[in-house]
Structure 1
Amino acid sequence: MEATANPKKSKRKFKQTKQLVRLAVNDGWSQAEIADACRTQQSVVSAWSKGTKQATEQQLKPLLEQFGHKLRRNTFKVYWNTDSETKKTSYYKLEGKVILNQASCYKKVQTYKKYIQIPTKKLVIHHQGTSKFRIVVQTRLKLSTGHELESAVDDSVWNSVITKQVDLAELLELIDHYSKEDLKSYPNEAITLPFIARQALLNHGFNIEGVVEVPAVW
């Protein structure tokens, strides 16, 4: 099930056009060969390689099929998870660009009438290509004293659960369900997360069903 219409999807600009073309050139492709594969002119490929123009995903389909995995491999994050029953710790290298990294905080009294925000939950979205995503649900680790674990490396203080790969429609369903069921103790985040997630996806070029477009008139 796709949440985008095919015509809109084919027009979506690929923000890593320059990097993808560079991968092809480094593999021995000439600009003429890239132009032939992508059914365009060499002058257009030249603009892609300089970063002055971006191609659509549809135009770059031949390059994405051959070099997309290398592009995704260059963007990853490392997570870990400790099973609450077995106490076994597993480490994960999750590929794909981070679309959203949203923390949920609770207020902790510091002094009279002053509060500090303590992040205790996080939701991270990775885009893994061709409208496929993974969600990482993170919970702040605690010391035996009950205090939140602290570190100069923020990624190390979170216990992470990685979902199966989902499409855009499934992603939005999971986010809305997470907001309603898992953020009951965080009313501000529970209300705003559906908006923040959709805003992030739109800002990264994804088209979302149900969003009313109000175009400018030039």
Structure 2
Amino acid sequence: MTQTHTPSLRPARRGAFSGRRAGALAFAFVTAFAAFGAHAADAPSPEHKELVAKILKLQQPGIEHVARQLAEQPAAQLLNSAGAALASRVPAERREAVAKELQADAKKYVDEAVPIVRERAIRLAPGTIGTLLEQKFNDDELRQIIAVLENPVWTRYQQLGGEMQAAFVEKLVADARPAIDPKVKALEQSMARRLGLDTSAAKPARKPASR
């Protein structure tokens, strides 16, 4: 049984590259080719359709990944909002229990929503991605795409994609944080002032005057 991923209550780092997203690299590769190809086919032959069907089969993990992302997005957004509200609206002694309840609610939604969106994504792919592939590529080009997708080196690159970007993002965040954090704080305080919110907590404590 395919497992689904429940978004965490903690806000995810923007730009972080999940290992699952590596499976979508080939999907992006094919759809990019489909968008920019220039070979139209008036009436696809049975062989042409078989080649397109093979590409869609090879791309099914990427298609399912896109569906999973779309299904999980509302739960992730709601959990992020709930996480921000926990500290201000829930008593300290209740926070852990409420957090677990929120996670359970989100998991229930994800378990129900992901299979629905995944089934629809697989069903719609032939009439969208498949149609573009039929229109934009000839048989020889489709065979070249299949050769790339079946290449073990390309497969290894896909599998390494998450690790590569995770390492890059970690270094980038650490390097940029000293320069960016003060700007984020200044923006936060500026917005709070415009909204009439109390920003006193964000101001540094004034040192007592020396006698």
TM-score calculated relative to the size of structure 2: 0.22
TM-score calculated relative to the size of structure 1: 0.21
Q: Where is the strand percentage greater, Structure 1 or Structure 2?
A: 1
Ranked by relative contact order (alpha carbons within 8 Å, sequence separation 6 or more), the top structure is 2
Q: Where is the helix percentage greater, Structure 1 or Structure 2?
A: 2
